[in-house]
Amino acid sequence: MIKLENIFKTYEDGGPVKTHALRNIDLDIEEGEFVAIMGPSGSGKSTLMHILGFLDQPTSGKYIFDGEEISFENDDFLADLRNRKAGFVFQAFNLLPRTTVLENVELPLIYAGQSKEQMRKKAKHALGEVGLSERLDHRSNELSGGEKQRVAIARALINDPKVIFADEPTGNLDSASGAQIIRILQDLNDAGRTIILVTHEEFAAKSAKRIISLKDGKIVKDELVKDRKIASRDKFTK
């Protein structure tokens, strides 16, 4: 489903100094995989995630997604791809604080031009998938960190994306809440969803089925997980 060929990403400050965030990245990810991307700070893992998720463009190289070569010159094309084929979960949740859980999850559907009835039905279904059917009318600033991240996952699911990108989704959570989030991602993958997870946490990485390790903008290791960690199935406990 995803194919990167000779991807480079270089940042320039207008002077002679260039920062090489990614160097000669070749990568294939099949539909239905659960891949973790790991590496120290500055290794390029977030840059790689942003390119994979159509949020940033490479300096050079080719990106093929779902059989189609991606043109990074057309902003409308990229925005449409993000809305239809990608779901995003971020460390900071990115919820509207004084808006209800249901309204936060409906938000991507507004841009898709769907009716209020359609939006409500889909949002309720997505919230049911993450165990928050009883919290629809709560405002997001009334939720725990783990609940906020579950809302963010529901929002990521709302357009039935081809792939879910999770960027440090457990970074702001305690260990119990983090395990619940990982369990939800594992369940979604078991149901056939493609998951790409950026993390610095070993437990989170080993919950995936494959780990790609970056260093200095290069892939230094790409291996299947041998002793996979399965998060607690009691995933909806506060």
In the block, tokens 């939006």 appear at 119
Beginning with the edge strand found earlier in the chain, give each strand of the sheet holding 68-69 in spatial order.
18-29, 2-12, 60-65, 68-69
From residue 200, how far is each of 20, 37, 46, 49, 160 by CA, in Å?
21, 8, 11, 13, 27
pTM of the model: 0.92
> How many CA atoms within 13 Å lie on the side-chain side of 193?
25
* pLDDT score for 235: 47
Residue 171 near residue 185, CB atoms below 8 Å: no
Predicted pLDDT of residue 238: 42
Taking the C-alpha atoms of residue 168 and residue 94, their distance in angstroms, rounded to an integer, is 13
* Rg of the chain in Å (alpha carbons): 18
All structural domains of the chain, each given as residue ranges with its CATH number in brackets, are: 33-47+82-223 (3.40.50.300)
The reported pLDDT for the residue numbered 113 is: 72
Phi, psi dihedrals of residue 227, rounded to the nearest 5°:
-110, 75
pLDDT tens for the 238 residues of the chain, in order: 999 999 999 998 777 888 999 999 999 999 999 999 999 989 999 999 999 999 999 999 999 999 999 989 888 889 889 988 999 999 999 999 889 999 999 988 876 677 889 899 999 999 999 999 999 999 999 999 999 999 999 999 999 999 999 999 999 999 899 999 999 999 999 999 999 999 999 999 999 999 999 999 999 999 999 989 888 755 444 4
Contact 102, 127 (CB under 8 A): yes
Predicted pLDDT of residue 216: 95
Q: What is the pLDDT of residue 70?
A: 94
